[in-house]
Amino acid sequence: MRKRLKQAKPWLFTTALAIFTYVIVYHLFLSDQYQNYERALRKEQTLRADFEKKQHMTTNLSAYKEQQKSIEKNLSELIRQLPIKLETHEIHHELFSILKKAGISSADFKQIHKTKQEFFSKYTVEIRFISDYKTLLTLLQELTNQEQISDVERVDISTKSQLLSVRMHIVYYTSEAAQL
For residues 48 and 107, state if they share a domain: no
Q: Which domain holds residue 135?
A: 85-174
CATH label of the domain that carries residue 134: 3.30.70.60
The pLDDT of 159-164, averaged and rounded, is 79
For residues 77 and 90, state if they share a domain: no
For residues 63 and 106, state if they share a domain: no
Would residue 133 count as lying in a domain?
yes
pTM, entire model: 0.46
Given 39, 66, 81, which residue is the final one in a domain? 81
Q: Which residues of 69-94 are buried (b: 16+ CB within 10 A; e: fewer)?
A: eeeeeeeeeebeebbeeeebeebeeb
For 22-81, what is each residue's pLDDT tens digit? 888 877 777 777 788 889 999 999 999 999 888 887 777 788 888 888 988 887 777 666
Please answer whether residues 154 and 168 qualify as being in contact, where contact means their C-beta atoms are separated by less than 8 angstroms: yes
Would residue 180 count as lying in a domain?
no
